[in-house]
Amino acid sequence: MTNQEFVKFFIRQKEAFLQEYKESNYKKALNWFERWLQEEKVKTEEDTAAGAAGDFDHFLDEVLSRTQEILRGWGIKMVYPSSHQWLGLKGSWRCIKVFDNQNVYYRIGKTRPRKGRYQGQELLVLDLVMDGQKKQVFLPLLSRKKEIELELGEVLERELPKVEATGKYRFKLLLPFHLFARWETELTSQKLAGFILVTKKALNKLGVA
């Protein structure tokens, strides 16, 4: 039985019930429950429709366009060639360039961690990528991680030690995947723009430009 069918069934049953118990105070409670069912139905259908309204790539395109607009207002130039055009990465990811240094850049995409506290959860992920830049960039920035988190108001994750051992160094901001399901492009853009602004200021102080 679909949500719509259930609501219709409930309304019919409610009317039959009230015919039998006309003098009771049940009507108000049943009307409240009906209203709640209608609201929950609308919410569910809106979430489903939003996720189906466009695919994840379209969602990222909207987020990046809005993020670029926000950063432009802050005097930051951002370009975002697709991952297929730049670095040849596969999957639903977008790379973001704000530095002349090609080895330091940002990414946005989705992930489902196989280990750790987020194991098995599908998440949106914002990455600051510093692969191969351990001494020049990663370690100096790591010493300022707490300051960055305080200014950002978010906790940043790192790669697992065995991943960092291969020379892959990233700071990650993990976001709930329902931002995509509900098509929350504005909130996601604000999160991404803030992440770039705060970390870029710290990287600029380290000489990354």
Tally the C-alpha atoms within 13 A of residue 28's C-alpha that lie toward its C-beta: 3
Percentage of residues in the chain having pLDDT higher than 90: 60
pLDDT, average across residues 20-27: 58
CA–CA distance, 76 with 175 (Å, rounded to integer)? 23
Position 28 pLDDT exceeds 70: no
Residue 27 has pLDDT above 70, yes or no: no
- Give every CB contact of residue 158 below 8 A, 6+ residues apart in sequence: 164, 169, 170, 171, 172
- For the chain, the domains span 3-53, 56-205
Tens digit of each residue's pLDDT (9 = 90 or more) over 49-65: 444 435 898 999 999 99
| Residue 24 pLDDT | 55
pLDDT digits 0-9 by tens, 122-156: 999 999 999 999 999 999 999 999 999 999 999 99
Point out which residues pair with 124 in neighbouring strands: 110, 175
pLDDT band for position 19 (50/70/90)? low
Could you tell me which CATH number the domain at 56-205 has?
A: 3.30.1460
User: For the residues 116-120, what does the mean pLDDT come to?
Assistant: 85
